[in-house]
Chain A
Amino acid sequence: MFHTLHDAAHAVTIHIDGVPIAVEAGETVAAVLLRQPEVWSRTTPVSGARRAPYCMMGVCFDCLAEIDGVSSVQTCLTAVCDGMVVRRQLGRRSLVR
């Protein structure tokens, strides 16, 4: 759906649902998610509908995903770093083991 307008230097690797992806240093996780073939980052806790990054400025909370084991992170406010593990977040979290 989206692609970069310039030839990016892919110096950093992150993992989205286990798939390694080469990305540019300093970009946000939301920007990377929007370039993926599956353009969504989570399903909602109420209806289960898919949601993708939207406002890209920390307001709409639609871009939430699990990053390095911490869930409901605003991916549009989170810069990538090498080895980062991102998981699309499915529905509600649970505190039940």
Chain B
Amino acid sequence: MQTDVIVIGAGTVGAAIAYGLVDRGLRVIVLDGSDTDHRAARANFGLVWLQGKGVTMPEYHTLTRRSVDLWPGFHDQLTRLVGGWIDYERNGGLAFCLGETAFDERRHELQRLHTMLGGDPDWEMLDRAALRKLLPKVELGPEVAGASFGHHDGHVNPLKLLASLHEAVRRLGGTIRPNTPAQTITVQDGTFVVASGDERFEAGRVVVSAGLGSAVLARQVGVEVPLRPQRGQILVTERIEPLLPLPASGLRQTAEGTLMIGVTQEETGYDAGTTAEAAARMSRDALRKVPRLGELRMVRQWAGLRVMTPDGFPVYAQSPSHPGAFVALCHSGVTLAGLHADVVADAVAAGSLPASLDMFHPGRFDVPHAA
């Protein structure tokens, strides 16, 4: 089967890039793995988040800012095409601070980042009184000293986003092949050939965006990407009347009314199981912020595996040995979806990555170990 671009992986990253490509008139086939593969896209918390990102790499903040600014247009176009809602809101977001020390530390951290970036601040610290005004229905725990308020933060239903991206790819003439895990990428007569079982797919370009499955595939086109899984667990409560008008880091209310409580960052290899210990820790933490959450019933707990690079920042690369082969990986596929459908799709279509993505080349991990 011959096409313009083969996108390997139909998670939020691959689907957003594929959507951008079909929107630009390219013929695209997306090869997705099997149902039992690890799927970060289906375990996501759903924040479209900027505040605090890139404290150790300001370019990541700039990149994320670009994506959250692209999000409203991306959202409007996607939902107009597909019809229906993905519950996107961009009214700002909060990071609760428990205790005055945490409040001061948060301010210093965001101030340090702002000093590196310059420009107008896109965040502010809200003391307890200001926070109560913003959250009139919430009875805050006694330890809550305040919160940082990111003006550009928002949230979305990540499952509806993923389903809408798939639908959009199909509507615009693209093909998504479930249960078609890419096994090998070879080059024959200047064309990429991706094999899955007995099937062969051919294209002039290939994008490896297969989450944790990417390292093996990227190596076949000469790109080394060290990856590891990081487990994140989430709790979900029963549905309640609107309580939180804004999402917060680790606590948000969905459009249907459930409260999502998260998240953990655990180095537990490829074990995607949930633990009572994590549920207890997340519950304790949420109750310190909003004690009355203790009256609610928990209805679900799940875990997913984040796609982590050694420094936690994304990887965007075109293979030097196999021009036309691209790699795109990150753990914030929802936040960066606006960028992937626009900037990254443009780059794949044009056959060259823009300088703004230079910092995200995996060559940064090749630092030789000191003797």
Chain B binds chain A: yes
Interface residues of A (CB under 8 A from B): 45-46, 61, 71-72, 92-96
For residue A61, which residues in chain B have a CB less than 8 angstroms away from its CB? 299
B112 within 8 A of A: no
Within 8 A of A (CB), among B248-300: 256-257, 292-293, 295-297, 299
Interface size on B, residues (CB 8 A): 14
B243 engages A95 (CB within 8 Å): yes
Contact of B241 among A46, A71, A72, A94 (CB under 8 A): A94
Q: What residues of chain A lie closer than 8 Å to B292, measured between beta carbons? A: 95
Q: Are B256 and A46 interface neighbours, CB within 8 A?
A: yes
B-chain residues with CB within 8 Å of residue A46 when the two chains form the complex: 239, 256-257
Chain A, Cβ-Cβ closest to B239:
A45
Assembled-state Cα–Cα distance A46/B297 (Å): 17
Q: Could you say which residues of chain A place their CB within 8 Å of the CB of B241? A: 92-96
Smallest beta-carbon distance B255→chain A, Å: 10
Interchain CA distance A96-B243 in the complex, whole Å: 7
Chain B residues packing against A (C-beta within 8 Å): 137, 238-241, 243, 256-257, 292-293, 295-297, 299
Contact of A72 among B243, B293, B297 (CB under 8 A): B297
A96 to B296, CA, bound (A): 12
**Is chain A's interface secondary structure helix, strand, loop, or mixed overall?**
loop
Return B348 CB to nearest CB of chain A, in Å: 39
Cα A61 to Cα B137 in complex, Å, equals: 28
What residues of B have a CB within 8 angstroms of the CB of A71 in the complex? 238, 297
Expressed in whole angstroms, the Cα–Cα distance for A52 and B75 within the complex equals 38
Residues of B within 8 A of A94 (CB): 240-241, 243
Contact sample, A vs B, 28 pairs, CB 8 Å cutoff: A45-B238, A45-B239, A45-B240, A45-B256, A45-B257, A46-B239, A46-B256, A46-B257, A61-B299, A71-B238, A71-B297, A92-B240, A92-B241, A92-B257, A93-B240, A93-B241, A94-B240, A94-B241, A94-B243, A95-B137, A95-B240, A95-B243, A95-B292, A95-B293, A95-B295, A95-B296, A96-B241, A96-B243
Q: How far, in whole Å, are A46 and B240 apart by their CA atoms in the complex?
A: 10
A72 touches B238 (CB 8 A): yes
Closest Cβ–Cβ distance, residue B336 to chain A (whole Å): 30
Is the pair B137, A96 in contact by a Cβ cutoff of 8 Å? yes
Chain A residues whose CB sits within 8 angstroms of the CB of B243 once the complex forms = 94-96
Using CB atoms, name the residue of chain B closest to A89: B238
Bound form: Cα–Cα A94–B241 in Å: 5
Q: Which residue of B lies closest to A97 (CB)?
A: B139
Give the complex CA separation of A8 and B2 in angstroms. Answer: 72
The 7 closest A-B pairs by CB, nearest first: A45-B239, A94-B241, A72-B297, A96-B137, A92-B241, A72-B238, A93-B240
A93 touches B238 (CB 8 A): yes
Bound Cα distance from A71 to B295, whole angstroms: 9
Distance between Cα atoms of A96 and B135 in the complex (Å): 11
A45, closest chain B residue (CB): B239
Q: Which of A45, A71, A94, A95 is the most central at the interface, judged by chain B CB atoms within 10 Å of its CB?
A: A95
CB nearest to B295 among chain A residues:
A95
Q: Which residues of A contact B299 (CB under 8 A)?
A: 61
Bound together, the chains give a CA A72 to CA B259 distance in angstroms of 15
- CB-CB < 8 A to B137: which residues of A? 95-96
Given the complex, which residues of A lie within 8 Å of B297, measured CB to CB?
71-72
Are the CB atoms of A92 and B239 closer together than 8 Å?
yes
Closest CB-CB distance, B237 to chain A, in whole Å? 9
